[in-house]
Chain A
Amino acid sequence: MAARSRSAIGALGAPGASSISARRDLARAQALQEPWPFPQKAAALCWGPAWFAKGVKMCKSVTPKRALRRSRTCCCSTGRGRTQCRKIKPHSLQEQSSSLMGFAMTRLLRVDKAWEELSNILSGIFCASLNFIDSTNTVTPTASFKPLGLANGTDHHLLRYAVLPREIVCTENLTPWKKLLPCGSKAGLAVLLKAERLFHSSYHSQAVHIRPICRDASCLAVSWELRQTLTVVFETFPSGQGKKDWSLFKMFSRTLTEACPLASQSKIYVDISAKDKEKELLEVTPSPTSVHEAIVQGEKRTYAVYDLLSPSLFNTSRSLNVQLKWKRPQDSLELSTPVLHAQRYVSGYGLQTGKISTLIYNTHPYRAFPVILLETVPWYLRLYVHTLTIITKGKENKPSYIHYQPAQDRRRPHLLEMLIQLPANSVTKITIQFERALLKWTEYTPDPNHGFYVSPSVLSALVPSVIAMKEVDMEQSPLFTSLFPSSDGSSYFVRLYTEPLLVNLPTPDFSMPYNVICLTCTVVAVCYGSFYNLLTRTFHVEEPTRGGLAKRLANIIRKFRGVPPL
């Protein structure tokens, strides 16, 4: 029945030097590739840690931060493709938005200034529109985010988070991103990053993470780690027929020839786990260097590992083209639902009020767990907090923590954070009503009838695992664990971004100012015209005439009555 095959590309790494600090660090890169049942396949590529080109150093030096996370993603497909990819990979997907968050270490007064500088520099480095981040879309979450890496303070006043739901990633963002890789796109796994293939996909996400880490085991000095990740969901099974074979060449239209010479680790993980009896149906060529078993997000998975650094891999042929074949065509395509997933939509009619509904699903058979929900809503949607309702299984669900910061017009957005307990096997519906504000006519975007985006809400949760997980050794496979983080043996961390919403605001007719001017002028001109006419007209004294028919009739009557005529 369920044809589940996963492939993962592994890690490529490099010892590189972050130059001015005269320090050498390991730079590794990893690509993880997972073919989703039908019709998509996901590939996650991950590079790290610690590779500093000048640009990144710049943003580091301008804004010393505890941790900086910047992620730009886009999902090009719609409907089914979208929901599916979100359901499948709940841990890192985010759609059509750029987000930026950072912990600034500078003093509080200067945080906002540093934040502004940071977003400007990043927009310069990555050719992105991040410079549109300002106070109207920046919030200071209290509970949803914590600094990554070495940081003991968790003062949320230093945290800033912003999302630009309108911005999508494209080639111009990929090129500077690729330049930050140690070998550029000249060698190693980055050779696969061909823009026309990557953006011809259902889902694309690229991210840059910077965080402080220990320089060595004794942890006396701090190094900065830069991690770059790229996640792509491909549609690789073009012509039905139930054929789900794929190869690197088919996906990226390139093959691998060598590892990046700077890499200390360079591996491809191909997910070959299959349910029980279907194991024999899969075939990967060439034969993997090793097989890795891991429990990832509560599921047992088997990976075929290709270590690009092992010379035997390139012995037989000069290039590596990993292929996965099915021994017989698959027909059923069942998707296992993730334990935590969410859905959001806007409802209501008319242009005055509306309602934002968020559905959070917990499909875990027997465990309840809490989830932190972060909502940022722009100021032009005026939220009515008293209409906030959280309903689970027909009963009201009271959040155990709630933080609400109301918006200020043209200054800051609404911020709503809640800690909600999700009972086992339940759907929680969160609704809140809003009113649409009227904007000034210069505040509308160039295409106002397209609507205004509301940024995705963020769900953070420690999801209990269905099966027991064992502690993963971070040192052994650092990138693998960073792709699939787990906090302890029994649960794993999931951060989920819902889809952005598109809300129509009452849109005026933009020729209105001209019409008003014309109308006013016309009214004034008409009044003025008659007034002028009245005042400057020359009046003649008319000679009295003999009188008309009425007068003659009146005189005849007067004659009869014996009264003198008029």
Chain B
Amino acid sequence: MAAAAAAAAADEAEKARGRRAALSFAAIAVVLGLPLWWKTTETYRAALPYADIAALGELSFQLAVPVAVVFAPGSQPRDLPRLLPFRDTEEKETLLNSRTSIASRYEMVCRSTTAQEEAALGAATVQEADAALHQLQDASLGSLSLYVIPETSLLLPQGIGVYVGKHRSALVRAGQGLAALRARLQQVMQIMSFTTSSITAALSDRMPASQLGPDARRHFKSSLGYEITFSLLNPDPKSHAVHWDIEGAVSRYVQPFLDKLSFLANFSVDSQILYYAVLGVTPRFDKESSSFLLSAHSLPHVINPVEARLGSSAASLYPVLNFLLYVPERSHSPLYIQDKDGALVGTNAFHSPRWGGIMVYNVEGPAAPQASLPLRVDVDMVRVMEVFLAQLRLLFGVSREVQPPEVLLESPGNEGLADWELDRLLWARTVENVATVSTTLTSLAQLLDKIGNIVIKDDVASEVYRAVAAVQSAMAELAVGHLHSAFQASKEAVTSSERAFFDPSLLHLLYFPDDQKFAIYIPLFLPMAVPILLSLAKIFREAKQRKKEPTKTD
């Protein structure tokens, strides 16, 4: 009997030992095995500044423009609030959408003219005054100097209230009273820096299409470089031997413009002559004028067949601006472009947004019909480059908007671009770059968050950190009105964020879906997990039974 009891006790002890062993197996598997497996198979993901990136999703731009308002003697309005010199700011906030807002702040320093400036303003013509004033300024990018001259000054022609010079200064007639002057100053400042619409156009990617004007998507996206290609299309080399002095024309007309823009991006210019390159549409013959017409609605079909011949952009990743000079076939000339209303287009040219421009160059028929073919044609490059340069300005978003008649804008001269136009472009480009970086980083963060398989290497992470830091510094520099450093920082941010986004290492492990991974693990997991689970279930069952037993005896 005692032996039986002892045996039962030993049995019980043995059972308890078995239970403990099973439990410790389960514990080891959970405490040691699972973390070990997790650690050895996890993908390396460097930490990213997710909070900062999320903060970048909401952009509230603060654009500060330093403005010097200089009053010439006798131009101060009587109701000026304080004595000169004094500081004044003018702020305006626009909410573009729930995630984007622009606050512009014009920091005006009002003072009276110095002796030198007075002398400069005493020049005979307004152009000379502008040039003389330019010498006196320490013009940093983005800063403006506005000279208020007496209402009766003869420097400006009759009826002109505002004159915007070639550089970063403007002359403003004092007008009647402070309110009128303020309105004028505000107008000039907006012309010379930015308007809500120019910033909205730069932020076109963040805006719903309905809020954008028709021109908002015309100019080229901000990029670190552009390739400009001039092509001469001669579909009929049998009748026309066309020659153009593109090298001279580029160095004379385009290069000064590009030199001015060289701060903005790298440019490369090349040219080519393509023979037998025809337009995709057959022009309609108009009996009245005995000419051929291309109507506006057929223009979209012109580009595609030509584009196949233009040559690949295999050499770089930069966008290509195409400028095509088309000399129509003899059987189709003269060829004119008709606008939507049926009127002939004066320049005989059109442009395609974010692509380039095409100009049709008609060759005058030979004096004698039996003149020997091919006819030698020397292209009038002045006429052609006028059109191409205008299109180039349009595509870069530096075209001049129509101004009220009292505003006189000085022509930029040989450089093709006034200083303040460059500033205007830089304001828009900086804002655009910041918005691009914000979009890139946000989508990168979203992507990395969504797909846990992506390896995030340290160099990718450091690029992201650099981009975030650069974009933050760009915003800060914008807020204090340092346009130059803001633009540089935004460019840096774009470079870093693109490099992080397109880093090939992000794609390495993308093709290992989770279900396949588990299929590989099953031969290990199944035999190990089943006994543990079964014995755990058994232990659990026995414990439940033991709980029940005392109640039974009751």
Contacts and interface: CB of A to CB of B under 8 A. Distances in A.
Given A124-B314, A517-B520, A540-B11, A22 B245 contact: yes
**How big is chain B's contact interface, by range?**
35 or more
Interface stretch (B14-22, B74-82, B351-359): B14-22
A62 interface: yes
Interface string B259-299: 00000000001111111100000000000000000000000
Contact of B374 (A17, A59, A261, A536): A261
B413 interface: no
A140 B250 CA distance: 40
A262 B237 contact: yes
B312 A17 contact: no
7 contacts: A53-B272, A55-B314, A525-B527, A528-B527, A536-B19, A536-B25, A537-B18
Contact of A121 (B10, B248, B315): B315
A125 B520 contact: no
A149 interface: no
B232 interface: yes
Contacts of A62: 315
Contacts of B535: 536
Closest 3 CB pairs of A and B: A124-B314, A525-B527, A54-B311
Given A22-B246, A55-B314, A57-B272, 10 more contacts: A17-B273, A123-B314, A124-B314, A183-B275, A183-B276, A261-B237, A533-B531, A536-B19, A536-B21, A537-B18
A449 interface: no
B14 A57 contact: no
A58 interface: yes
A20 B531 contact: no
Interface secondary structure of A, over-half rule: helix
Given A55-B314, A179-B309, A518-B523, A17 B14 contact: no
Contacts of A478: none
A157 B96 CA distance: 60
B112 interface: no
A184 B275 contact: yes
B11 A22 contact: no
A186 interface: yes
A1 interface: no
A53 B274 contact: yes
A529 B21 contact: no
A536 B17 CA distance: 8
B11 A59 contact: no
B309 A262 contact: no
B321 to A, nearest CB: 13
Contact of A521 (B21, B244, B276, B523): B523
Interface residues of A, number: 50
A100 B250 CA distance: 34
A19 B276 contact: no
Given A20-B247, A22-B246, A54-B311, A536 B18 contact: yes
Nearest to B308: A179
B400 interface: no
A58 B315 contact: yes
A560 interface: no
A526 B531 CA distance: 12
B232 A19 contact: yes
Interface string B497-531: 00000000000000000000000110110111001
A543 B6 CA distance: 12
Interface in B289-347: 309-312, 314-315
A527 to B, nearest CB: 10
Contacts of A529: 527, 531
Contact of B528 (A17, A55, A525, A541): A525
A401 interface: no
A20 B270 CA distance: 6
Contacts of B273: 16-17, 19
Contacts of A260: 237
Contacts of A183: 237, 275-276
A21 B11 contact: no
Interface of A: 16-17, 19-22, 52-55, 57-59, 61-62, 120-121, 123-125, 176, 179, 182-184, 186-187, 260-262, 514, 517-518, 521-522, 524-526, 528-529, 532-533, 535-541, 543
Contact of B243 (A17, A120, A176, A179): A17
Contacts of B244: 19
A54 B244 CA distance: 16
Nearest to B276: A186
A62 B316 CA distance: 10
Nearest to A182: B275
B100 interface: no
A543 B526 CA distance: 38
Contacts of A533: 531
Interface in B1-46: 7, 10-11, 14-15, 17-19, 21-22, 25
A525 B17 CA distance: 23
Given A261-B237, A538-B11, A538-B15, A19 B528 contact: no
Interface string B233-256: 000011000011111101000000
A307 to B, nearest CB: 18
Contact of A52 (B272, B520, B526): B272
Nearest to A541: B7
Contacts of B462: none
Contacts of B311: 53-55, 58, 179
Contacts of B22: 536
A290 B229 CA distance: 44
A514 B520 contact: yes
Interface string B210-249: 0000000000000000000111100001100001111110
Given A17-B273, A22-B245, A179-B309, A539 B524 contact: no
A53 B277 CA distance: 13
B520 A54 contact: no
A529 to B, nearest CB: 6
Contacts of A125: 312, 314
Contacts of B248: 22
A446 to B, nearest CB: 15
Contacts of B275: 16, 182-184, 186, 262
A46 B1 CA distance: 113
Contacts of A52: 272
Contacts of B270: 19-20, 54, 57-58, 61
Given A124-B312, A521-B524, A528-B527, A535 B247 contact: no
A20 B228 CA distance: 12
B278 to A, nearest CB: 9
Contacts of B19: 536
Contacts of B232: 19
Contacts of B310: 54
Q: Which of A61, A183, A521 has the most CB of B within 10 A?
A: A521
A124 to B, nearest CB: 3
B246 A522 contact: no
B523 A522 contact: yes
Nearest to B532: A532
A517 B523 contact: yes
A58 B312 CA distance: 10
A35 B245 CA distance: 46
Contacts of A514: 520
A57 B230 CA distance: 13
A54 B272 contact: yes
A121 B14 contact: no
A120 B520 CA distance: 39
Given A17-B243, A521-B523, A522-B523, A538 B314 contact: no
Interface in B525-548: 526-528, 531-532, 535
